[in-house]
Chains A and B, each alone.
Chain A
Amino acid sequence: GAGVSQTPSNKVTEKGKYVELRCDPISGHTALYWYRQSLGQGPEFLIYFQGTGAADDSGLPNDRFFAVRPEGSVSTLKIQRTERGDSAVYLCASSDGGVDTQYFGPGTRLTVL
């Protein structure tokens, strides 16, 4: 079946703008995760959804970051008033619940000028 998809693949924006990053998980996967990967680093956890609710949002760096998953499938990560330090690859993963293997999408590379 289809894997995790993320759009856009690349996003260039200007400092202060608002961006939305989309993740479409594997069909039937109840858990969805967002990670941020800065250059030369491993991924850093942002938020985890179980169904429609955010079960753990402890990784969101500040209140400019927000994520939703209104129907328990597609998720959108929203970043307000972007800053140059937000530049990174944003990875989305999904799993079939539990501590199951997380399957990743190709990521969105965000560049804030």
Chain B
Amino acid sequence: AQTVTQSQPEMSVQEAETVTLSCTYDTSESNYYLFWYKQPPSRQMILVIRQEAYKQQNATENRFSVNFQKAAKSFSLKISDSQLGDTAMYFCASGAGNNRKLIWGLGTSLAVNP
């Protein structure tokens, strides 16, 4: 069975600074994918970044990057130059190659302060 753990219920950061959100996972699958989604108060779940487990290179999307440590089963999200619009719940999720459903963590509430 897959599990996803986010151990930081709440985080805060000053505008323009960098913050890292933690996620660990467990899976018996060899072919799996990891995602970070953002959920603002509007409820819409928005993809932030995606990582294929077979790729060694860490994914990056503009100000967002991941630190994927496969052996440690760790998948942290780094947000650089934080903006007020980054304030949201952030969820880490895992999906396997032969099992389409996503398994989710409990989320981290991020507040970006002016």
Contact = CB atoms under 8 A, between A and B. Distances in A.
Interface of A: 31, 33, 35, 40-45, 48, 50, 55-56, 59, 89, 91, 93, 95, 99, 101-107, 109
Contact of A43 (B31, B45, B46, B47): B45
Contact of B101 (A42, A45, A91, A109): A45
Contacts, number: 59
Contacts of A102: 47, 102
B44 A104 contact: yes
For chain B, the bracket of interface size reads 20 to 34
A92 B24 CA distance: 25
A48 B98 CA distance: 13
A-B complex: 3 closest residue pairs judged by Cβ atoms? A42-B104, A104-B45, A45-B101
Contacts of A101: 35, 47, 50
Contact of A42 (B33, B50, B107): B107
